[in-house]
Amino acid sequence: MRKLAINLVFILLICASAGAQITKIGGGLAYGTGYWFEKTEVEEYRSPHLALFAEGVYRITTPIHVAASFSYFYPHIESYTASKTSVRAMMFDINGHYVFNALDKFEFYALAGMDFLLTSYKYKITGAAEEDDKTNDNAIGLNAGGGVIFNLSPKMSIFSEAKYVVSKYSQFMANAGVFINVSWLARHEQE
């Protein structure tokens, strides 16, 4: 986990030193088709589907952007009479965007990048003798997909994105949310 955080900070520093400019920050809801934890196809090993995410977009040039995002999935919990299981997940993504029409009200882009998934399975026996058994797993994968941004005003945009994650825990993801246009706010704050 610490190595992953160090690598993400390193990538963001490279983007900043390459003349990148933060253009948008925001977040919203995500939905994933899910996966089976450690390929065990039993309902209690099913991954969560719904997530909250935050994303920042850095403009390198007009058509080329880099986006970093973090998604936290609502846990999938199965409760039984004497036990409870849960599968939890969080995801870090670094994606490159190629924006086809960067100056229009609708911006369409293709994306490709890397995905880092951290997931865990917890089994808890309840009652007189409480016991916990927790297993963690990580996966690195590749993303491919596309998205659209609708610029509501110079300050705010809404967006939707779809991507397929190819990894040990492959799944299809769809995101929708709101962006605040930080570059516009920074330019007009000085006036």
Question: Between 74 and 44, where is the model more confident?
Answer: 74
- CATH 1.10.10.10 is held by the domain 2-189: no
The predicted-structure confidence for 66-115, as pLDDT tens digits, reads as follows: 999 999 999 998 888 888 889 999 999 999 999 988 667 888 999 999 99
| CB neighbour class for 116 (10 Å; exposed up to 12, middle 13-18, buried from 19) | buried
Q: What are the DSSP calls for the chain, one per residue?
A: -HHHHHHHHHHHHHHHHTT-EEEEEEEEEEEE---BGGG--SGGGBPP-EEEEEEEEEESSSSEEEEEEEEEEPPEEEE-SSEEEEEEEEEEEEEEEEESSTTSSEEEEEEEEEEEEEEEEEEEE-SSS-EEEEEEEEEEEEEEEEEEEEESSSSEEEEEEEEEEESTT-EEEEEEEEEEEHHHHHHHH--
pLDDT-derived band at 31 (thresholds 50, 70, 90) equals very high
- Look at residue 19 in the predicted model and tell me its pLDDT: 45
- Look at residue 17 in the predicted model and tell me its pLDDT: 45
pTM (two decimals):
0.81
**Contact (CB, 8 A) for 85 and 65:** no
The predicted-structure confidence for 125-166, as pLDDT tens digits, reads as follows: 876 566 788 899 999 999 999 999 998 888 899 999 999 999
Whether residue 185 is predicted with pLDDT greater than 80 in this model: the reply is no
Domain boundaries, the chain: 2-189
